[in-house]
Chain A
């Protein structure tokens, strides 16, 4: 606890690559300030040690709130489909803090946001994937272009502290 940089007690569980539709937009200003964002998920893939499959095409979107301070509050929901056919509802909630234009770490030629983290909840049938509904999971996002998509990396918060 004396070291503020504690090791993350995290286990990498899976990653998704989600492509977005060109209908993505923000609109407003809304009563009380801020804007609403709409980013529809067109399709995508899921890969990693604990889950693989696909994003069910056109199954949902991020309906983000763009706050007055510029922070984007992520509120996305859509469907995953595991390789065994199991449907899994995912709801991501978190924050994307944009970097200043032309700034931000460059990854594959794209300036990344200053902060892009979230925590998902899942609705999943009992069975091999139900650990998703009793494990705290956090995610990080990374923006990509050509085509417009993001990489979302998910980590389980482990029980054992190493």
Chain B
């Protein structure tokens, strides 16, 4: 949308929720998979998360990402792992989204070389399963994650759709 256009009258707003910083294991590749693309398996080795309303850790090796790599280079994420809030509450995170880039940035990411944030598109949408209680807002809002690809790790900044 051009900057001069007024925003859509019902345009939703976001509120920053938390950032998850996660260290990843090396991937295992399954190719070609029966889905006609390359499937990868990458585990969440360890991590932490922190935001204004919640913080805690990623439960080590509780899961990971099992993305499909499409023939056109688009990565279709399918991540599942567990968080643990500081009060001990376990939280199941399931996330989907996309990563792709123009030019050679995709190859540099595959080789675990640094890339600038503007060189690639990496956006996810998680959903959470959580016991009723102080963290159940996670299970009734839509979130968007803006992800930073750093070598052998991810930092994903989650925003709650108000």
Task: Name A's B-contacting residues (CB within 8 A).
Answer: 1, 4-12, 49, 69, 71, 93-95, 97, 115, 117-119, 121, 126, 133-136, 138, 140, 142, 153, 155, 157, 159-162
The 8 closest A-B pairs by CB, nearest first: A136-B123, A117-B142, A119-B125, A12-B8, A159-B121, A134-B74, A157-B123, A71-B140
Residues from chain B with a CB closer than 8 A to the CB of A136 are 97-98, 123-125, 144
The answer to whether A155 touches B11 (Cβ under 8 A) is: yes
With A and B bound together, what is the CA distance between A118 and B12 in angstroms? Answer: 12
Q: Is B88 an interface residue (CB 8 A)?
A: no
Task: Name B's A-contacting residues (CB within 8 A).
Answer: 1, 3, 8, 10-16, 52, 72, 74, 96-98, 100, 118, 121, 123-125, 127, 132, 136, 139-142, 144, 146, 157, 159, 161
Which secondary structure characterizes the binding site on chain A? strand
Known: A6-B14, A7-B14, A8-B12. 15 other contacts (CB 8 A): A4-B52, A6-B16, A8-B14, A10-B12, A95-B142, A117-B12, A119-B144, A133-B74, A135-B123, A136-B123, A138-B12, A155-B8, A157-B123, A160-B118, A161-B146
The answer to whether B142 touches A118 (Cβ under 8 A) is: yes
Partner of A135, one of B8, B98, B127, B157: B98
Residues from chain B with a CB closer than 8 A to the CB of A9 are 146
Residues from chain B with a CB closer than 8 A to the CB of A126 are 72
Residues from chain A with a CB closer than 8 A to the CB of B157 are 1
Partner of B142, one of A11, A138, A142, A161: A138
With A and B bound together, what is the CA distance between A94 and B139 in angstroms? Answer: 10
With A and B bound together, what is the CA distance between A132 and B96 in angstroms? Answer: 14
With A and B bound together, what is the CA distance between A142 and B14 in angstroms? Answer: 18
Q: How far is the CB of B86 from chain A (nearest CB, A)?
A: 20
Residues from chain B with a CB closer than 8 A to the CB of A11 are 1
Q: How far is the CB of A6 from chain B (nearest CB, A)?
A: 5
With A and B bound together, what is the CA distance between A140 and B10 in angstroms? Answer: 9
The answer to whether B96 touches A140 (Cβ under 8 A) is: no
Q: How far is the CB of A51 from chain B (nearest CB, A)?
A: 15
- Closest A residue, CB atoms, query B53: A4
With A and B bound together, what is the CA distance between A134 and B123 in angstroms? Answer: 9
The answer to whether A95 touches B141 (Cβ under 8 A) is: yes
- Closest B residue, CB atoms, query A97: B140
The answer to whether B12 touches A121 (Cβ under 8 A) is: no
Partner of A69, one of B3, B11, B127, B132: B132
With A and B bound together, what is the CA distance between A69 and B52 in angstroms? Answer: 25
- Closest B residue, CB atoms, query A13: B1
- Closest B residue, CB atoms, query A139: B142
Q: How far is the CB of A128 from chain B (nearest CB, A)?
A: 15
Q: How far is the CB of A82 from chain B (nearest CB, A)?
A: 20
List 23 A-B pairs, Cβ < 8 Å: A1-B157, A10-B12, A12-B1, A49-B1, A69-B136, A93-B127, A95-B141, A117-B142, A117-B161, A118-B142, A121-B96, A126-B72, A134-B98, A134-B100, A134-B121, A138-B125, A142-B10, A153-B8, A153-B10, A155-B12, A159-B121, A161-B146, A162-B3
